[in-house]
Chains A and B, each alone.
Chain A
Amino acid sequence: MSERMVIPFGPQHPVLPEPIHLNLVMEDEKVVDVLPSIGFVHRGLEMLVKKKDFNAYTYVAERVCGICSYMHGMGYCQAIENIMGIEVPERALYLRVIGAEFSRIHSHLLWLGLCADAFGFESLFMHTWKLREQILDIMEEITGGRVIFSAVKIGGVKRDLDEAMLTKILDILNDLEPQIKEISSVFIESVTVRHRLEGVGVLSTEDAISTGAVGPMLRASGVSQDMRKLNYAAYGQLDFDPIVEKNGDSMARCKVRIREIFQSIDLIRQAVKKLPQGTIDTPFKGNPDGEYFARLEQPRGEVIYYVKANGTKFLDRVRVRTPTLANLPALVKVLKGCDLADVPILVLTIDPCISCTER
């Protein structure tokens, strides 16, 4: 038996700009044990509920993460709406679906690009991000922001979409779909990509369940669990099935995300088609009193928003359980037994968002 040694990975590492530190216990080239540590970018956003009133906290919730900011705002608003018993208009629910699915496409394209970058496929990375740019542009036109959208508010959404905009959305999706198909076929078929992803970091179904993995990480291991099936927003009226892959390796996670992009495109088309007429927000009075758990499916997996209110304009507690935190035990599981050279790509396949995790 060879001597064990510890190789530190991070907090700064080229594979991702966010700080996560892993102590990799190595035996020759194999990782035998992993000790993750987080806590480098804690910002104390949850404690801000004591200083910001519950309406203004929507903006804070959106800033938990720069990628899924739409869904963070949505999760917080859903929790408050449920506490206060606010009936959100149908049209607003559909508009929320459109916004959320656009963020999902944007997030998955971002991940595909980062993944290509992690195994050194620079041109694939650039071409994927070129497509993502068009999604950011359409988001800017719809909501006014490229990254922080500030589009969701308690009781509804802030901006309506007119007929011309809806047609434009469909046109852009029609234009983007073949391009995404073309770029994703490189991920699925290219020999280079398959060498780096296939059979790397296999997470079995039992391990995925016992480590509490969420989102694409869980679905790639053959578990059909998608929080959108809880029928929040307008997902109940839309026709879709959770996307599941069986293999549980990095390629399966990549495939789940690629297929989810097309699923999102389909969901946006359905939502645009079914978009009902009417108002986009419900005015409300008073302060929330009570507590609620909101569960949403973000691009990275399930997020939980726990809100406890006390009847004043300042909330008692907001607690966010982000998908990356849930996926960290699964990451430790897949890292054990892998090669040192595969560590960056495995860290990336959980789609880590450390600033989300630490808030």
Chain B
Amino acid sequence: MSVFHIAKIVLRSLFSKPATGMYPFKKREYYLSTRGSIQNDIESCIFCGLCSKKCPANAIEVSRNDKQWSIDRFRCVTCNACVEACPKKCLVMKNTYTAPATIKSVDKFTKSAESQQ
């Protein structure tokens, strides 16, 4: 009676809560280890450029003279290589994703003037 076999499973799911999330009302919670997006604590960055050398997607650009660190999030593959390479541990992998966008842009971080002295 194998026809009733799947019927049992289907009936069970018919009378239970949906397996999918009710997305816009209930957002999915990410795990602590989820690789979502890169954040830079720019005030402690020393602009050594190791992250940009390690980046397999060439998404990071570091300018030591302008004290500027920029990441192209549309190139970034969130592989965590830059976070592992960072000697000052100022790069962190956040477990939330960046918002979708209609125009591609580069995120720029500039060190404030006070902390440069």
Q: Which residues of A contact B (CB under 8 A)?
A: 52, 55-57, 59-60, 63, 123-124, 127, 130, 133, 140-145, 148, 150, 158-159, 182-183, 185-186, 189-192
Interface of A is mostly: helix
Q: State in angstroms the CA–CA spacing of A144 and B95 once bound together.
A: 9
> Chain B residues with Cβ under 8 A from A123's Cβ?
6, 9-10
Q: Which of A130, A140, A186 contacts B6 (CB 8 A)?
A: A186
Contacts between chains A and B (CB distance < 8 A), count? 62
Q: A115: shortest Cβ distance to chain B, in Å?
A: 14
Question: Given A56-B54, A123-B10 in contact, is the A140-B34 Cβ separation under 8 Å?
Answer: yes
Q: Which of A56, A133, A185, A189 contacts B56 (CB 8 A)?
A: A56
Q: State in angstroms the CA–CA spacing of A356 and B56 once bound together.
A: 20
- Is the pair A190, B2 in contact by a Cβ cutoff of 8 Å? yes
Q: State in angstroms the CA–CA spacing of A55 and B80 once bound together.
A: 13
15 example contacts (A-B, Cβ-Cβ < 8 A) are as follows A55-B54, A57-B56, A59-B57, A140-B34, A141-B33, A142-B33, A144-B34, A145-B34, A145-B35, A150-B79, A150-B80, A185-B5, A186-B9, A189-B5, A190-B2
In the complex formed, the residue of A with least CB distance to B10 is A123
Q: State in angstroms the CA–CA spacing of A60 and B79 once bound together.
A: 11
> Chain A residues with Cβ under 8 A from B33's Cβ?
140-144, 159
Q: A10: shortest Cβ distance to chain B, in Å?
A: 29
Which are the 4 A-B pairs with shortest beta-carbon distances?
Answer: A56-B56, A144-B35, A189-B2, A59-B56
B13 at the interface (CB under 8 A from A): yes
Question: Given A140-B33, A144-B34, A145-B35 in contact, is the A186-B2 Cβ separation under 8 Å?
Answer: yes
- Is the pair B10, A191 in contact by a Cβ cutoff of 8 Å? no
In the complex formed, the residue of B with least CB distance to A60 is B56
> Chain B residues with Cβ under 8 A from A127's Cβ?
9-10, 13
Q: A95: shortest Cβ distance to chain B, in Å?
A: 14
